Chain A
Amino acid sequence: MLHLTTGRLGSLLSRRAVVALSCSSVKMSTHGHEVSEQADMSLPMYWDRLDTPLPDKPYQDTLTAADKSLKQKEMGPWTNLSKEEKLALYRLMFKATYAEMRKPSSEWKTVMGGIFFFIGVTGLVVLWQRFYMYPPHPQTLDDEWKAKQVKRMLDMRINPVEGFSSNWDYEKGHWK
Chain B
Amino acid sequence: MSLPKPVMRGLLAKRLRFHLPIAFTLSLIVAAAFKFTVTEPRKQAYADFYKQYDAMKEFNAMREAGIFESVRPSGE
Contacts and interface: CB of A to CB of B under 8 A. Distances in A.
Interface of A: 152, 155-157, 160-162, 170
A160 B65 CA distance: 16
B58 A161 contact: no
B32 interface: no
Contacts, number: 17
Contacts of B45: 161-162
B42 interface: yes
Contacts of B61: 170
Contact of B67 (A156, A161, A162, A170): A156
Interface in B33-74: 42, 45-46, 49, 58, 61-62, 65-67
Contacts of A162: 42, 45-46
A152 B67 contact: yes
Given A152-B67, A155-B67, A156-B67, A161 B62 contact: no
Contacts of A160: 49
Nearest to A152: B67
Contacts of A170: 61
